[in-house]
């Protein structure tokens, strides 16, 4: 039996895994996964460090026998062991939309990885507009790289940022991610689709996550483009994914520990920063999603949450399946408010447990 060899999963398609061996940097193996991994519920993700058994160098084949513990793990896009996120947007064609950019930034912040913001197509806007965007985003808490794939301005600085790191590239379609990879990784023939002139949005090009080896060292993961990422963030934690608000919370505290930063008195962050409107919108989404999850759990458990005239909520058994009237606006806001405070209290308890440990 051949000795197992160590490598990194760089791509997954169907039930096959491309693994780059550690001791053979130019050798790629097409691998399957041992059935015992499936039996114990061990998944295999792009970025995983794995041990490959029954290596056949002649036919470049093998079988993944075990997976090393992960430093981190992302569900969307599915990837393990990343060091940083490279978020790519364009300054023009398609134009930079602040709501979309803010949504991507909040999602990226929730991954708890180093975040690098890159703005492509600087050659399509004036120097004055470039400076305006840099100043504006600096207020958000970011120092973006301004580059041009066409003129290759700013590419050298970007190379330094990616050196010796595993980087996850993300961003909406049509901003030039595939073209950027063609420059960063010479010889990679990435398909590049033109931006839809009618909708000013890009057509999806990349269909799966794949790691590319950078000539200066490090790995770069391209991911499928998507325009509206799901935030999947607890309402009580959302504020900490806005760097400009987080700075204010570090210098001063709100009057209430469970402040939702909406209408509470003596809130230190309410309303005095550009993305506050974004925060309120994302907060409402997070709270509504939490209520929806709660409702799904009630449906499965056979219980329903009833709100009494006094405003108190209690669980009661479901008597019969019937069509319920839509929840009133007053009850909905009451549920959102109570749910936020429940999540906030739970987050504080978790923090206290960590300190005790």
Ordered domains of the chain (ranges, CATH): 5-68 (2.40.50.140), 75-222 (3.40.50.300), 235-356 (no CATH)
Q: Is the pLDDT of residue 336 over 70?
A: no
pLDDT at 185 over 70: yes
What are the tens digits of pLDDT across the range 207-232? 578 898 898 888 998 776 555 788 88
The bridge status of strand 61-67 relative to strand 49-56 is: antiparallel
Q: Are 35 and 42 in contact (CB under 8 A)?
A: no
Please name the residues in contact with 114: beta carbons below 8 A apart, sequence gap of 6 or more: 83, 84, 85
Q: Could you report the per-residue pLDDT of 54-80, keeping only the tens digit for each?
A: 999 899 999 999 999 999 998 877 899
Query: What is the 8-class DSSP label of residue 184?
Result: H
Q: ∠101-106-107 over CA atoms, to 5°?
A: 100
Give the pLDDT of residue 277: 96
Alpha carbons 2 and 128: distance in angstroms, whole number = 62
User: Could you give the CA distance from residue 47 to residue 19 in angstroms, rounded to a whole number?
Assistant: 10
Evaluate the CA torsion angle 336, 337, 342, 345 in order and state its sign.
positive
Query: H/E element holding 127?
Result: helix 127-140
pLDDT tens for 2-58 read: 789 999 999 998 889 999 998 755 688 999 999 999 999 999 999 999 999 999 989
pLDDT exceeds cutoff 80 at 105: yes
Residue 127 confidence class, pLDDT cut points 50, 70, 90: very high
Q: What is the pLDDT of residue 339?
A: 64
Average pLDDT over residues 334-349: 65
Q: Are 19 and 64 in contact (CB under 8 A)?
A: yes
Backbone angles phi, psi at 296, to 5 degrees: -65, -35
Q: What are the structure tokens assigned to 146, written together?
A: 């301004």
CA distances in angstroms from 37 to 8, 42, 44, 62, 255, listed in the order given: 17, 5, 9, 15, 51
């Amino acid at each position: 039996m051949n000795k197992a060899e160590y490598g990194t999963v760089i791509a997954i398609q169907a039930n096959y895994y491309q693994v780059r061996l550690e001791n053979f940097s130019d050798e790629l193996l097409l691998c399957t996964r041992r059935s015992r991994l499936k039996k114990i519920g061990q998944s295999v993700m792009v970025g995983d460090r794995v041990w490959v058994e029954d290596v056949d160098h002649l036919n470049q084949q093998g079988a993944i026998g075990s997976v090393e513990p992960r430093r981190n793990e992302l569900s969307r896009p599915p990837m393990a062991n990343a060091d940083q996120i490279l978020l790519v947007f364009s300054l023009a064609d398609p134009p930079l939309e602040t709501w979309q950019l803010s949504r991507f930034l909040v999602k990226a912040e929730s991954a708890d990885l180093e975040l690098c913001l890159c703005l492509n197509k600087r050659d399509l806007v004036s120097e004055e507009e470039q400076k305006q965007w840099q100043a504006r985003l600096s207020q958000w808490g970011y120092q973006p790289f301004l580059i041009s794939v066409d003129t290759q301005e700013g590419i050298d600085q970007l190379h330094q940022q990616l050196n010796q790191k595993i980087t996850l590239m993300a961003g909406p379609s049509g901003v030039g991610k595939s073209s950027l990879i063609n420059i960063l990784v010479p010889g990679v023939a990435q398909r590049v689709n033109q931006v839809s002139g009618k909708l000013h949005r890009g057509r999806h090009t990349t269909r799966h996550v794949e790691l590319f080896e950078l000539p200066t060292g490090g790995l770069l993961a391209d991911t499928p483009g998507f325009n509206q990422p799901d935030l999947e963030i607890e309402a009580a934690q959302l504020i900490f994914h806005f760097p400009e608000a987080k700075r204010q919370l570090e210098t001063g505290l709100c009057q209430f520990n469970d402040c939702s930063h909406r209408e509470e008195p003596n809130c230190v962050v309410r309303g005095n920063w550009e993305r506050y409107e974004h925060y309120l919108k994302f907060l409402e989404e997070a709270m509504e999603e939490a209520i929806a999850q709660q409702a799904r759990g009630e449906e499965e458990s056979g219980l329903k949450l009833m709100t009494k005239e006094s405003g108190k909520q209690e669980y009661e058994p479901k008597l019969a399946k019937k069509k319920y009237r839509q929840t009133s606006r007053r009850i909905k806001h009451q549920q959102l408010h109570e749910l936020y405070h429940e999540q906030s209290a739970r987050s504080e308890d978790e923090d206290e447990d960590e300190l005790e440990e």
